[in-house]
Amino acid sequence: MNKLNRTEIFQRLRNEDPNPTTELKFNSTFELLISVILSAQATDVSVNKATAILYKDANTPEAIKNLGVEELKEYIKTIGLFNTKATNIIKACTLLVEKHDSQVPRTREELETLPGVGRKTANVVLNTAFRKVAMAVDTHIFRVSNRTGIAPGKNVLVVEKKLLKFVPDEFILDAHHWLILHGRYVCVARKPRCGACVIEDLCEFKQKLVD
C-alpha cells in the first residue's frame, strides 16, 4: 500500500472518530494498568463490569495488594483466566509499592518487569496513559493491518514495527485506537462489514474480492 492511501485511510478514520480512546473504563493510570491486564483474552465489557465494583473498594496498589489473591479473585471471577490474573496483579501491586513508590512506570522496560504485563499491555499503557508513540497489536489490529494491506506481517511484532514505520506522523498517536475500534465493529473476523466501511475503496482485501 502506498503512502497516499495510508494517509487517506487514517484521515477518514479520524473524520469518523476525532478523539478515539480505549473502551476500558478507568480514572487513573493505575486503574488502566489493572484493566488492561484483566482484558487479556477477555472483553472490555466483562472487565468494566468487574472493575466497576473492584475500583470502588480498591483502586490503588496498596489497596489491591491488601486484598490478597483469594479476595481479589472474588471481584474478577467472571473474567477469563482470573486465577492467573489475580496472582499476577497482587505480585504487580507488590512491586509497584516496594520498587516504584506506588507509581506506574513510564517506560516499556520497567512496565514489562511487572507480572502479567507483556509488550502489548505495556504499549497500551504507554500510548493511552502517557501519550507516547506505541502500537499495541492485538487480534483486531493484526487482522485489520493484514486484511487492508496497511501493514501486513506474519506476527504481531512485524505488524507493530511496520505500523510504527508506515503510519503518517500526524496520526500515529491515535492509530492504535482507530485500528482496534475498526476491527472490533467494522472489519470483524468472520464477516467484515465492507458495505459500512469508510475505507472500503482503499482496502486491498476488498480489491482482491473484486478482482
Residues forming the active site: 120, 138
Cell of 36: 488492561
Distance of CA 160 to the CA centre of its chain: 12
CB-based contacts of 211: which residues, under 8 Å, 6+ apart? none
The 8-class DSSP code of residue 104 comes to: -
Distance of CA 209 to the CA centre of its chain: 30
User: N- to C-terminal Cα distance for the chain?
Assistant: 16
